[in-house]
Structure 1
Amino acid sequence: MKIQSIMKSKRQGFFISSVLLGSVLVLSGCGTQSPSISSSSAHGSATSPTQQTITAVGAENEYANVISEIGGRYVSVTAIMSNPNTDPHTFEASPQVAAEIANAQLIVQNGLGYDSFMNKLESASPNANRKVIEVQNLLGLPNQTSNPHLWYNPSTMPRVAAAIAADLEQLMPAHKKYFEDNVKKFDASLQPWYNAIKQLKIKYAGSPVAVTEPVADYMLQAAGMDIRTPWSLQAAIMNGTDPAPQDVQTEQNLLKYHQVKVFLYNQQVVDPLTQSLLTLAEQHHVPVVGVYETMPPGYSYASWMLKEVKDLQKALVYHQSTQTLS
């Protein structure tokens, strides 16, 4: 399967026609947004009007959040895709998005076709001094990589954070130690997530689970879960194509006959098929865990990832569903 086709898919019911780019990530501990100001990122008071800041863009708000955590008071960060109620795969860039990208000094984007509109807009406004971190390239992943949801991989964000710090240091050499200290704090913030994954793997490795698409697959694999949903079904739902009837039947049987312990449901891609699967899981009392492609409001990247693991644990231990994050 060619992941580049993701951005071309036609999903039912959801698309983003425009983005209001006056919104930014303000605090490292939250994904809420406000008119564009410099990020304080939990490192003291907000930047004074006279203090120089670096204008940065995260294609997805989880990346914007990490920029905010590393750059702190020296960055003003805009998140382009941040709505947890919409499907990021069908994003359509507006002129406002183009203007924000044109003005950015630092950009972090996912790659693997997930946010390919970024490359087009960057090419339309060339800037030799602009720093662009494409996570696919940072991780050395080929274009054929099947799962683009790289932020669910526990090994991804520490490398992204280090790359952000390196670019910020080039833009503001005087604050090198500040950025490096923030990388250490960010890495430390991920330890509870890592510990939760480790404990889940120790106690529940091999637990069978079903998914609608591969949003959280990297995290599930790290925790030792057995993903029973056929990859071809996951890819079809992800790419907005018609799945094979036998794959749909396989998924339905997983839920009907309790062949899985948890059903992980992408809350940002909802269509008649996924809704029918959700109903089936509820009817047969299979615990449901909602997962997201962009960071829900009220979370930092670290707290969001930790919450997903804890919700999975509650489903496995107590058969408790957590369909939405609030």
Structure 2
Amino acid sequence: MSTPSAAPTPRRARPAVRISSAAAMAVLTAVSAAACSTSSPASSSSKTGGSTPDGASGRTIRVVAAENFWGSIAAQLGGGHVHVASIIANPDTDPHDYEPTAADARTVAGARYAIVNGVGYDAWADKLLAANPAAGRAELKVGDLAGVKPGGNPHRWYAPDDVHQVIEKITEDYKKADPADAAYFDQRKKDFETKDLATYNKLIADIKSTYHGTPIGASESIVSPLADGLGLKMLTPRTFLDAMSEGADPTAKDKAAIDDQIKNKQIKVYVYNTQNSTPDVQAQVKEAKDAGIPVAAVTETLTPADATFQQWQTAQLQGIEQALAKATGR
């Protein structure tokens, strides 16, 4: 399998995270209404779970995930005992500057468990949760779990170790919410890690073993945690990676450094985010291809939208592995 062939339309450069006044009014209004009715899911929800009543054993835990990559994992770990709604589920939606809707507020109001990425990536989700401090709702902020401080790299779903840490925590929280079904959640976790993630885990181990220390370039900081997890050496200046992720203009110095790395083939592979392909990135992709440097692609959210976390990540890892093999002859 290779990387997805039909990449979504590139997004515009990212502005700072914001929630418009109109959206905020709609959210607060919806939260008030949610006290009377919490059954309506978010319009962009992805649902997985059984229809057992919310009772003692066999209850259905209502879960809301800010992004569908975490929602996919949560749904698979919970199986028939959870109902997961992911707010960001459209590949053309930028999680950085998303503006919540009234339906999103209702979904959050009805959830017993909430998963947000944190580290400034989805500040709108923090505002949604704060607007409705429901008693008894458990919350997981991935950045805090991973120990990433403010200003750190927020793209934790691209860090294999952090993904496994999240799997452990979600399972633990499910068991706390529904102790009667603890054995069920333990089995779901075991199956997910040993079967569903088998190819994902093997690709990571194989790439790390075969290509450890191979220098690569990238379009933005989303690639950095994955490069670390794969044992690859990121040569692109961090200031450029961060600027591109934040929607800022990169410096002429950084662009010149990357041009030099490509021209002199200091990097073996160039990896770029097709969902944030600015003119600067497009120019670098062209330069790399013209120089005979293999190019691999990643996306920020599940692509296609109905893919599982492991299907999405496996396809991208296979694309990176193929690029590395072409570049090194190994």
Q: TM-score normalised to the size of structure 1?
A: 0.81
Whole-Å Cα distance in 2 between the matches of residues 120 and 295 of structure 1?
24
Whole-Å Cα distance in 2 between the matches of residues 235 and 57 of structure 1?
28
Count of aligned pairs: 289
Query: Residue deviations 1:13-66, cap 9 Å, x none?
Result: xxxxx9x9234435xxxxxxxxxxxx24xxxxx536897422111111111011
Whole-Å Cα distance in 1 between the matches of residues 155 and 68 of structure 2?
13
| 2:192 corresponding residue in structure 1 | 186
Equivalent position to 2:211, from 204, 210, 213: 204
| 2:261 corresponding residue in structure 1 | 254
Select between 83-92 and 221-230 the one with higher mean Cα deviation. 83-92
Local SS of the residue matching 1:79: strand
Matching residue's letter, 2:123 = S
| Cα root mean square deviation, aligned | 2.4
Local SS of the residue matching 1:8: coil
| 1:47 corresponding residue in structure 2 | 51
| 1:29 corresponding residue in structure 2 | none
Whole-Å Cα distance in 2 between the matches of residues 213 and 186 of structure 1?
30
Query: Is residue 7–residue 114 contact of structure 1 (8 Å, CA) maintained in 2?
Result: no
Query: Residue deviations 1:113-163, cap 9 Å, x none?
Result: 001111111111111211100011222332242x11001111112221222
1:68 aligned to 2:75? yes
The Cα of 1:95 is off from its aligned counterpart by 2.0
> Structure 2 stretches of 5 or more lacking a match?
1-13, 19-26, 28-40
Equivalent position to 1:156, from 152, 162, 172: 162
The Cα of 1:88 is off from its aligned counterpart by 2.3
Q: TM-score normalised to the size of structure 2?
A: 0.80
| 1:216 corresponding residue in structure 2 | 223
Matching residue's letter, 1:21 = A
Equivalent position to 2:16, from 8, 13, 16: 8
Matching residue's letter, 1:245 = A
| 2:323 corresponding residue in structure 1 | 315
The Cα of 1:192 is off from its aligned counterpart by 2.8
Matching residue's letter, 2:134 = N
| 2:38 corresponding residue in structure 1 | none
Query: Is residue 7–residue 113 contact of structure 1 (8 Å, CA) maintained in 2?
Result: no
Whole-Å Cα distance in 2 between the matches of residues 108 and 292 of structure 1?
20
Query: Is residue 287–residue 319 contact of structure 1 (8 Å, CA) maintained in 2?
Result: yes
Check 1:163–1:7 CA distance in 2 against 1; reply closer, same or farther (3 A cut): farther
Check 1:270–1:237 CA distance in 2 against 1; reply closer, same or farther (3 A cut): same
1:172 aligned to 2:182? no
Whole-Å Cα distance in 2 between the matches of residues 296 and 55 of structure 1?
24
The Cα of 1:280 is off from its aligned counterpart by 2.1
Higher RCO by CA contacts (8 Å cutoff, separation 6 or greater): 2
Whole-Å Cα distance in 1 between the matches of residues 230 and 175 of structure 2?
35
| 1:138 corresponding residue in structure 2 | 145
Matching residue's letter, 2:190 = K
Equivalent position to 1:243, from 246, 250, 257: 250
Local SS of the residue matching 2:216: strand
Higher helix share: 2
Q: Taking every aligned residue pair, what percent have the same amino acid on both sides?
A: 30
Whole-Å Cα distance in 1 between the matches of residues 322 and 149 of structure 2?
35
1:25 aligned to 2:46? yes
